[in-house]
Structures are given as C-alpha cells and as structure tokens.
Structure 1
Amino acid sequence: MNNGYEYARHTGPKVVALGGGHGLFASLSALRRLTDDLIAVVTVADDGGSSGRLRRDLGVLPPGDLRMALAALCGDDEWGNTWSRVIQHRFRCEGELNGHAVGNLLIVALWELLDDDPVQALQWMGRLLGAHGSVLPMSAVPLDIEADVRGHERTAPTAVTKVHGQHMLAKTPGEVLGIRLIPENPPAVPEAVAAVRDADWVVVGPGSWFTSVLPHLLVPELAAALVETKARKVLALNLAPQPGETDGFSPERHLEVLAEHAPGLTFDLVLGDSDLVDDVDGLAKAAAALGGQVLLTPVAVGDGTPRHDPGRLAAAYGRIFVDRERIAPWR
C-alpha cells in the first residue's frame, strides 16, 4: 500500500497502532524505533481546546490527536526534534490564536488547500516533518462520543445520565457504563481498513480507554478488519486508571469493558507493567477470555508518574515482535 512515503526498502514488520492522545504518542515514540513500516490510525472525536474550536468554526476533523501522532513519528535528529517542537507549540496571547497549536493550523490549512482530503494532507505533513511512518484518521467525518454515566450529577449518585462529548466525558466524576459514536456506524477511512488487514502486527492502546481506545471498535468497517485480519494483535494497558473516566478500574476491568464494546475481538497478547499489576491471575484470566496471554515487564518511566518510557516500551514491543513461538503460530 502506498502511504505517501518513499523508502528504498522497508525494515521491520508492518505495524498499525490505534489510539489517540498521549497514549498513542507514547506507543508511536517506541514503535518508530523498531520499524519504518508504521501507520497510526487516530481517533477523531475530540471536541475540546484548539481542536474543538477549529472543528466548530471550520467544520473539519479535530486535528489535535493527528498532530500528536505526527509529532511522535518525528526523528531524533535536529530536523525531527525541531519540527516536533514547532507543531506542538501553542500560542499564548490575548487574541484569537490563544491556545491554538501550530500543527493544528498547518493540518487544517492543508485540508483546505487539498480539497478536504484528510489522507493526502497528512501525507504532506509527514513529508515536511520527515516522519518515520504515516498517520490516518479512523473516519473522514468528525465524530462525537455519547456515554451513559452513573453518578455524573453529584446530587444523584445512582442516576444514569447521558454525557455528550469527549471533553465532558473526560471530566466526569461518575462511572462510565458504556459509549457510542454519533453519527452511529460512521464510515471508516478506506486506507485505515486496508492497513489493518495488511498488517503483521496491530497495537491497540494505551490511552484514554473510553475516548481514545474504544471508539475505534465502534467504527464497523474498522472493527470488522480488526476481527478478520491475519495480523497478530497486542493490547497495551494503561499504567493507572484515568481520573474521572476509569476511576477504580483494575487492569482486568479494562479488558472486560473492551470485550463488552467489541464482542468477537481477540488479542494475542496483553502488555502491562510488571510493577503495577496487583492481580496477575485475574489479568491472565481476563486476557484468556480475549484469546490471549499476558506479558508483564517494566514499561513506565520509573519516577512514580504513570508515564510510559519510550525506550522500555520499545524493548517490550521488540521482544514481542521476535518472540513468535511464545504467542501463537502465524494464522
């Protein structure tokens, strides 16, 4: 598949990573060290901050998660470091530019110049940045997330409320029971579907579970590709529950919620941090229900904050990619 980049040859396996935000940034920062055949498929449901403003004002896809994925794919040389900083830079001023990220504006400008072709515009951005891989939106239409939340209203802790929008969902004090996308059953970007079907490995997560990970599984063509692909699939767990969104969730509860939203989807391996999983047997049982095994290894930065270390995460993915016999025979 031509994803817009000219390489003399590809090295490493064909890897597709699904997610959004800081979780996908961490995963891509690791994966680009292992392969140059890397495609990110990114959620497009953000409705807050710079992305939300551009989406409302111009009717475009929210560019923020796409920008972060591109920044993660920048190289470690001077060119890559410089451009990564440029597109992540946010204006601080009293005017209309306040809070906007430079990369968001560049992406939207390319969309306008290229007749709203989201894939071609992101290819051009990748060329400019010298990205080690490519970035695709999961859908070509802006999406909204609607959730059923118990206890969203503090005065009614047992009542179930419909909470609309990723920004509001990320701040809820209640228990998220489930999500859906609006519009329902949105179309997938064909290139994203083809990438999943053609991959050697698909990596899902880490990331905000209800707003960055699960939305991919609610796009029917993308969900079908994930079920039917011959690629091996890795589910990367978060290092800690996310305040509000997954408060009180154990690692195994994350897997149970995923299964509830995507019946029939299996994974070969569940990756977690060995220092942060308390109930190893419980996690192994939940992983087995998804058809997979568990690999626990240190992947956090080690300073007590719930952040993935790119080097440790790369080492974990590298071990997974070469340890074929431990996982399963090729399908």
Structure 2
Amino acid sequence: MNDPRVVALGGGHGLHASLSALRRVTNRLTAVVTVADDGGSSGRLRRELGVIPPGDLRMALAALCRDDQWGQTWAEVVQHRFRTEGDLHEHAVGNLLIVALWELLGDAVEGLDWVGRLLGAQGRVLPMSTVPLDIVADVQGADPLYPLEVTQVKGQVACAMTPGKVLGVSLVPQDAPASPEALSAIRDADYVVFGPGSWFTSVLPHLMIPELQRALIETKATRVVALNLAPQPGETDDFSQQAHLDVLQAHAPDLRIDVVLADSGVVEDADALDKAVHSMGGRLELAAIAATDGSPRHDPALLAQAFVQIFASGL
C-alpha cells in the first residue's frame, strides 16, 4: 500500500522510536500520545498551569522533524533543556513553546498543529485526551516486607519506578474524554501501531479511555504491536515477550491484534511467541530491528524496513 494512513500510539522514547521510523514510510502519519506524565518539566507545568503534560507530545513532534538542517535544528531546540540554578532548570524549550501556544489559542490540538508547522513535522501529533490524566497501578509486593500484598500506586513516575510487580493499570478520571481528532484518526486509519514503549505507562493507557478503546476495537485498520527489545526497569522486570501480549489482552479482551513485530535477536522462544500471537488471531513478524551498538534501542532505518514489509503484505 502506497502512503498508508498510520496512527501510532504511545509516549516517551518508545513512541519517538516508532515515529522516527514511520515518517520514513508514509506521509500520512498521526501520533496519539498519552497525557499522564507527572514528573520533571511536564509535571511542573501541569501542576502550575493546569495543562495536559506537554513532554511526550514534544518528543513526538521532535521525532517527526525532517532530516534536513531545518528539521534537525528545530528538533534540537524543542528538546533543549535549560541548566540553571533557578526556576527554569530542566524545563524543555518545547514544553514552554507548546504551553504558550495553548494559552494564546485556547485549544490543545490547534496549538500542537502550529508547533508542527513551525518544525515542518512529517505528521500530526494529538493528545489521547484533552484533560490531564493520572495512572493508578495495582502492584504486588510494593512493600518488600509484604511480598504478596497488592496495593495501589498513583502517578506515572511512581508507577514506572515502583518496586514489586505491576498487575494492571487504570486511569483517573476513569471516564476521561478522548480527543475527537484522535478518534477520527483511528477510525480512518489503514494501520494502528501499538508500542514500543513503557508498557503500563505509555502503551496500555490508550486502552483505558472507554471511547478510545472502542475506536481501537471497531476500526477496520490493521493493528500492529511492536514489542520492546528489553524489559522496562520497574514496570516489566522479568517479563517475557508473551507476557506483554497477555497484559495487553487482559486490559482489552475484545481487541484483535493482526501483526506482532519482534526483534529476531531478542526472542528467546519463537515458537511459544508465535503460538501466543496466533491465539490472538494474528501473525508474528521477526526482523532485525535493534540498533547495532548493542543498546536496547530500535534502529529507525531497520524498523522502517520492517514496517514496509508489514504494510506490503496487504493485511
């Protein structure tokens, strides 16, 4: 399929990786980004101004910048963080720019579109909701003295760093509205891509908004899951590749998965993973998509090539 309509879901570095690859594949790309961050610059702006956290949105916009001088310069500008002894310390320039446009225009989506035009972004960035969200995780053994006790941990940063085993997540408020533009993009998409990224705090939250989950279930798009290269410390320690899929299915039992993409170099039991994917109604695609320096990062060019193969299959 030439120039497919693709929607990528996630947040943070994982979404940055998928967008860096997908912008090489299609000119009709939309990122739908989680808005639950409560740490760092985003958390400070959220608490002070009551806005949705801009950090993951900023990272997505940076990933969509072109490879020419204009794109790379602006990508560096929006990602730049101040280093001071004062209040600006660790604030990202892009976060401040995004929030300024939100205040001037009074519309989150319109503000992001303006930033995208300034950067020459090769795609559109949308928040999954226009209200700030909090992630609540059910954690077993958060207190090492009580390894079997299940307690709740609130906040994206706390959930990502919690000791113990994360069993599941939910959002506050539970009935948060989905961004209308995000719903429209998902319904019109040819492909929807989940991951890679922090499974409980970046990928699964999209399934916790009722309207968004319904759109993801009902869309005629092919649903692709891109698995992580390594467990996420504090979230998915000791998780197998199959466990990621089990958690996804547990949070959205009616969600059909068509393709699961995994790196051929990190899959320990390809037969078991293939069986798990097949049980969800999908097929497994194995490819070399990791960076060649040995770090647990996706190589944008290799990941793009893998997406091209998936899209060319016509599923």
Q: TM-score range by the shorter chain?
A: over 0.9
Match of 2:185 among 180, 185, 195: 195
RMSD after superposition: 0.8
Matches within 5 A, 1:154-165: 154-165=144-155
Matches within 5 A, 1:162-201: 162-201=152-191
CA deviations over 1:134-190 (Å, ceiling 9, x no partner): 000000100000011011112222211110000001111210011100000211001
C-alpha distance in 2 between matches for 1:160 and 1:267? 30
**Residue in structure 2 matched with residue 260 of structure 1 by the alignment:** 250
- Tell me if 1:220 matches 2:210: yes
Runs of 4+ aligned structure 1 residues displaced above 6 Å come to none
State the Cα distance separating 1:101 from its structure 2 match. 0.3
Match of 1:140 among 130, 155, 160: 130
C-alpha distance in 2 between matches for 1:307 and 1:236? 13
**Residue in structure 1 matched with residue 4 of structure 2 by the alignment:** 13
Matches within 5 A, 1:1-331: 12-115=3-106, 117-324=107-314, 328=315
Q: Which amino acid aligns with 2:6?
A: V
State the Cα distance separating 1:58 from its structure 2 match. 0.3
Gaps of 5+ in 2: none
Give secondary structure in 2 for the equivalent of 1:127: helix
| Count of aligned positions | 314
> Mean Cα displacement is larger for which, 223-232 or 78-87?
223-232
C-alpha distance in 2 between matches for 1:277 and 1:311? 20
Identity of aligned residues (%): 66
C-alpha distance in 1 between matches for 2:281 and 2:195? 17
Q: Which amino acid aligns with 1:42?
A: V
Q: Which amino acid aligns with 1:250?
A: S
CA deviations over 1:46-88 (Å, ceiling 9, x no partner): 0001000000000000000000000000000000000000000
Gaps of 5+ in 1: 1-10
C-alpha distance in 1 between matches for 2:75 and 2:18? 16
State the Cα distance separating 1:302 from its structure 2 match. 2.1
Q: Which amino acid aligns with 1:170?
A: A
Give secondary structure in 2 for the equivalent of 1:141: coil
C-alpha distance in 1 between matches for 2:279 and 2:83? 48
TM-score for the superposition, normalised by structure 1: 0.94
C-alpha distance in 2 between matches for 1:161 and 1:105? 35
C-alpha distance in 2 between matches for 1:154 and 1:104? 37
